Copies of this chain bind each other. A is one copy, B any other.
Amino acid sequence: GAAAFEWLCRLGDATLILGHRLSEWCGKGPALEEDIALANVSLDLIGHTEMWLALAGEVEEKGRSADHLAYLRDAMKFRNPLLVELPNRDMALTTMRQFLFDAWHFEMLSALVDSRSPRVAEIAAKALKEVSYHIERSQDLVIRLGDGTEESRARMQDALERLWPYTGELFAADAVDAAIAAAGIGPAADSLKAPWEALVTETLAEATLTRPETKQDAQTGGKTGRHTEHLGFLLAEMQFLQRTYPGAEW
């Protein structure tokens, strides 16, 4: 019940907020091909959001739809990891974040395909097809930009350093995760760490980037509703119409 709702919100909010951040690049990207690819990933993630949040609403049994959950909760009720709500900054940060997230997302969905919950397994299977492409693309970009010019390398390294303290939250487990793992609905959150580490380490090496020495779990809280100062601004914009015209249909 409550744990499942929380856990599904964590998934759905992560894809919603990251999808939203990517959509901010629309019309402002560095190259047409990239713009299109970014929009594609954004679209996929918002599609996943619809599925996860709809299921969350069903599990909650209070009649809340995916849109209701997306557009009518304030920041404290959002459950995404902090990583995805950070501002885009530049394409280096956007790309590096995407890779770090995709690597987790791919492992998570790969595990969820075997969920004891048929609904979860079904959504995961659909999403996994798309995310297999996401991780391939972002990994490739990290390598190309890391091993590109001096400037692109420096930007990618800076992005990596900035993001590193936010990566630990992806694997941090609490009572919610434990309940989900115990029920066989999802994997233990920290079980994804080893394959993630392997992929990240290998990719950074090929990208000629240096793995940061800093703590990975210095910045946490999003999964329990303690966010950065950025989320409130994102939501003010995203939710404006629903908040301003309650009950209208669009």
B244 touches A239 (CB 8 A): yes
A243: shortest Cβ distance to chain B, in Å? 4
- Taken together as a complex, chains A and B put the C-alpha atoms of A240 and B74 apart, in Å, by 10
A71: shortest Cβ distance to chain B, in Å? 11
A-B contact pairs, 13 of them (CB 8 A): A74-B244, A232-B240, A233-B237, A235-B240, A236-B236, A236-B237, A236-B240, A237-B237, A239-B244, A240-B243, A243-B243, A243-B244, A246-B246
B contact residues around A233 at 8 Å (CB): 237
A 188-203 to B, binary, CB cutoff 8 A, 1 in contact else 0? 0000000000000000
How many interface residues does chain A have, given as a range? 10 to 19
B contact residues around A239 at 8 Å (CB): 244
Within 8 A of B (CB), among A201-233: 232-233
Copy number of this protein in the oligomer?
Answer: 2
B contact residues around A237 at 8 Å (CB): 233, 236-237
- Taken together as a complex, chains A and B put the C-alpha atoms of A239 and B235 apart, in Å, by 12
* Complex: chain B residue closest to A235, CB-CB: B240
A245: shortest Cβ distance to chain B, in Å? 8
- Taken together as a complex, chains A and B put the C-alpha atoms of A156 and B235 apart, in Å, by 35
- Taken together as a complex, chains A and B put the C-alpha atoms of A232 and B240 apart, in Å, by 9
B contact residues around A235 at 8 Å (CB): 240
A92: shortest Cβ distance to chain B, in Å? 24
Given contacts A237-B237, A239-B244, A246-B246, 6 further A-B contacts (CB under 8 A): A232-B240, A233-B237, A236-B236, A236-B237, A236-B240, A243-B244
B contact residues around A246 at 8 Å (CB): 246
A72: shortest Cβ distance to chain B, in Å? 9
A168: shortest Cβ distance to chain B, in Å? 30
